[in-house]
């Protein structure tokens, strides 16, 4: 009998790729995703439909905060917890939703995993947003100081997971750094930039363009997350960065290069809660996970642009 794992947020951008990888590796996957309205649920439902074509996948369309977890975790040996409400800006106006989706749901899942005799490991998808505007590079052993409700809820959920690590349940928290690539969430800057550029529209760039991000390609994130299942690490947070620290001005220039022409840019004020720079210290990821990112930023951005171009063509044919 193949081993069984649970992937929460399995219809999301990263969760669906991880679920596909685990299925390809021979796992049976129980996916949990409630198709919330954090962005267009149709995108999530389409990914869940694709996963359901695999005989080893079973989907639970439920909220983790209300799902009967005891029965759902029966026979599950590992949990990959990627479910949650993402995005910095909305967290200032929707704080209660972020507390529900990120903190309350995580606390309930962790308690259930501790009680489930079959579950031996829980891998939690945390975020670089827990650091706030810390000194660069971001190191896991510095005191976290998030500057948004989103970052705070991710930190609280991370602390809950790590505090539960012990003899019966090993936990690890992976702090993801700006994940991008084909299938990226529609609210994220790279996708918004690429969609505007492909449509011949105007990019809305918040800030002066000097702010930078450690961009991490989605397949690299999936690889690190998969490695965390068997790695000799427990009770720790581990940065997962792509080694591609790029300014937003450089992103625009690369888009122009990839598309072969200029793009229009409209500058907006700095957005509340956005940090100026992120870059991961990847020592733990290299040492403990044996992980090194493989995809260069230009190649990953070109792949995302091509995915959007094909997606637009499919929509056009359907229309």
Q: Say yes or no: domain 4-178+217-241+278-294 is CATH 3.40.50.720.
A: yes
State how beta strands 202-206 and 236-240 pair: unpaired
39 labelled catalytic: no
**Is residue 238 classed as helix, strand or coil in its secondary structure?**
strand
What's the token pair of residue 217?
Answer: 């390609």
Q: Report the pLDDT value the prediction gives residue 315, as an integer from 0 to 100.
A: 59
Residues 222 and 174: beta-carbon distance below 8 Å: no
**H or E stretch including 172?**
strand 170-176
Q: What residue has token string 């792509």?
A: 242
What's the token pair of residue 266?
Answer: 């409209």
Best CA proximity match to 216, nearest among 145, 310, 292: 292
Domain segments of the chain as ranges: 4-178+217-241+278-294
- φ/ψ of residue 93, rounded to 5: -105, -15
pLDDT in tens, 218-245: 999 999 999 999 999 999 999 999 998 9
Which of 124, 150, 176, 180 is catalytic? The answer is: 150
pLDDT in tens, 276-314: 999 999 999 999 999 999 999 999 999 999 999 998 876
Best CA proximity match to 148, nearest among 80, 98, 216, 78: 98
Q: Report the pLDDT value the prediction gives residue 318, as an integer from 0 to 100.
A: 56
Model pTM?
0.96
């Amino acid at each position: 009998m193949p081993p069984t794992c649970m992937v929460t947020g399995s219809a999301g951008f990263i969760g669906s790729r991880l679920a596909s990888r685990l299925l390809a590796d021979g796992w049976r996957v129980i996916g949990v995703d409630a198709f919330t309205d954090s962005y267009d649920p149709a995108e999530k439902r389409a990914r869940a439909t694709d996963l359901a074509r695999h005989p080893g996948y079973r989907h639970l369309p439920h909220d983790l905060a209300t799902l009967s977890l005891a029965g759902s975790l029966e026979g599950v040996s590992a949990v990959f917890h990627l479910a949650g409400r993402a995005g910095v800006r909305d967290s200032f106006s929707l704080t209660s939703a972020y507390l529900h989706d990120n903190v309350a749901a995580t606390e309930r899942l962790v308690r259930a995993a501790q009680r489930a005799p079959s579950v031996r490991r829980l891998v939690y998808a945390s975020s670089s947003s827990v650091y706030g505007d810390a000194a660069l590079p971001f190191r896991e052993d510095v005191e976290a100081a998030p500057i948004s409700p989103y970052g705070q809820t991710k930190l609280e959920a991370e602390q809950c997971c790590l505090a539960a690590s012990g003899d019966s349940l090993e936990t690890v928290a992976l702090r993801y750094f700006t994940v991008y690539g084909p299938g990226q969430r529609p609210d994220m800057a790279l996708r918004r930039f690429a969609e505007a550029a492909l449509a011949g529209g105007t990019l809305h760039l918040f800030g002066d363009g000097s702010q930078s991000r450690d961009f991490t390609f989605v397949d690299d994130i999936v690889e690190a997350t998969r490695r965390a299942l068997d790695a000799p690490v427990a009770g720790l947070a581990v940065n997962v960065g792509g080694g591609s620290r790029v300014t937003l001005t450089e992103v625009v220039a690369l888009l122009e290069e990839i598309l072969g022409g200029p793009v229009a840019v409209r500058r907006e004020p700095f957005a509340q809660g956005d940090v100026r720079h992120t870059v991961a210290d990847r020592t733990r990821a290299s040492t403990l996970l044996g992980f090194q990112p493989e995809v260069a930023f230009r190649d990953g951005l070109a792949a995302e642009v091509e995915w959007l171009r094909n997606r637009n063509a499919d929509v056009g044919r359907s229309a």
